[in-house]
Structure 1
Amino acid sequence: MPYSWTTADPTAPTRELHLWPHQSLPPTGFAGFILATFAMILIPLLALLGSVLLWGLLPFLMLAVGGIWFALARSRRNARILEILTLTRERAHLVRHNPNGATQEWTCNRYWATAQMHRKEGPVPHYVTLRGGGREVEIGAFLSEEERIALYQELQRDLRPLPR
């Protein structure tokens, strides 16, 4: 799953939950895909070697490879999101690092922090939010539906105030 707790013990005094979007294409796969696309586009051009038609088609084929590279690179850049939920005995603190470098923060007394699941009302099915401190913030909206359901169950269990 694209999230993990730093400590497995839910009764630990301080715990951190790190969430990130799933990256199905690692950097080596990205380079391999661009190279394979480039090679496959060049195969039909072998028949045109030595003709003027090659130079007429080549810019458009290179534009297609460049477009694929741009689209995949943009998708990877937009998926650079990291959410960190820190739970201490007294506080629940959520920090979201956005792809553009901006940071969003939410802090609440752990006693009042609750996880909410909006099964149909949210922008995605089983939309999970944290409520407390007079605000409601989303968490893990980029996760798959099954992952959001599992995250909600874990948050329900772990947001309970710890015994003193």
Structure 2
Amino acid sequence: MPYRWTDISKTARRLELWPHRSLPRRGFAAFILATFALITVPLYPLLGTFVLWGLLPFLLLVVAGLWWALERSYRDGEILEVLTLDPDRIHLRRTARRAAPLEWEANSYWARAEMHQTGGPVPCYVTLTGNGRTVEIGAFLSEDERRTLYGELASALAEARATGTP
């Protein structure tokens, strides 16, 4: 799962969420190399001709464009959501590459997790409500991961409520 819970202290927990990467960096390099190797196959009969030099820049442009698009996808996916939960307070910080960090804080006793089956930007949309605001969490996760996250989040909030004070 692209998230993990860690215990900070006896009563405080931290949840870190990030988008899933289906193509790791090593696979990225292998894909670009394989694309380059396969795209040059039609050029072999053209070795020694002027046509090779006419086609080669376009084929290299295709490989460069593919590399740029995949690299841009990696940069856009650099999102990290960190939720800190203790009996007195809950704090969520979302950092993305091209945006200022977004923060939300509330009393963990009054905060609640909600899952919206429909009506959100994605199915099984998970939100946190408290301190007069509603914020999303884990919108980049898959539907099954959001369901699991909601269950874990609701039980962690219930546990924090049980040990905290209103």
Question: TM over 0.5, yes or no?
Answer: yes
Map 1:59-138; keep pairs closer than 5 Å.
59-100=57-98, 102-138=100-136
* Aligned counterparts of 1:49 and 1:101: Cα–Cα separation in 2: 48
Farther off after superposition, 129-138 or 22-31: 22-31
* Aligned counterparts of 1:21 and 1:53: Cα–Cα separation in 2: 44
Work out which of the residue numbers 10, 15, 27 in structure 2 matches 1:17: 15
Residue number in structure 2 paired with 1:163: 163
Question: How many residue pairs get matched?
Answer: 162
* Aligned counterparts of 2:54 and 2:162: Cα–Cα separation in 1: 70
Normalised by the size of structure 2, how large is the TM-score? Answer: 0.93
Work out which of the residue numbers 138, 144, 147 in structure 1 matches 2:145: 147
| Amino acid paired to 1:3 | Y
| Amino acid paired to 2:128 | L
Farther off after superposition, 137-146 or 154-163: 154-163
* Aligned counterparts of 1:82 and 1:162: Cα–Cα separation in 2: 28
Shift >4 Å, 4+ stretches: none
Unmatched segments (≥5 aa) in structure 2: none
Map 1:33-48; keep pairs closer than 5 Å.
33-48=31-46
SS at match of 2:20: coil
Question: Offset of 1:7 from its aligned partner?
Answer: 2.8
Unmatched segments (≥5 aa) in structure 1: none
Once the two structures are superposed, residues 127-164 of structure 1 have per-residue CA deviations (whole angstroms, 9 ceiling, x without a partner) of: 00000011000000000000000000111111121325
SS at match of 2:4: strand
Once the two structures are superposed, residues 89-138 of structure 1 have per-residue CA deviations (whole angstroms, 9 ceiling, x without a partner) of: 10000000112252110000001110111111000000000000110000
Once the two structures are superposed, residues 51-75 of structure 1 have per-residue CA deviations (whole angstroms, 9 ceiling, x without a partner) of: 1111111111111101110110011
Normalised by the size of structure 1, how large is the TM-score? Answer: 0.94
| Amino acid paired to 1:155 | L
| Cα root mean square deviation, aligned | 1.5
* Aligned counterparts of 1:163 and 1:69: Cα–Cα separation in 2: 51
* Aligned counterparts of 1:94 and 1:12: Cα–Cα separation in 2: 20
* Aligned counterparts of 2:4 and 2:10: Cα–Cα separation in 1: 15
| Amino acid paired to 1:27 | R
**Identity value in percent:** 58
Farther off after superposition, 98-107 or 116-125: 98-107
* Aligned counterparts of 2:100 and 2:94: Cα–Cα separation in 1: 8
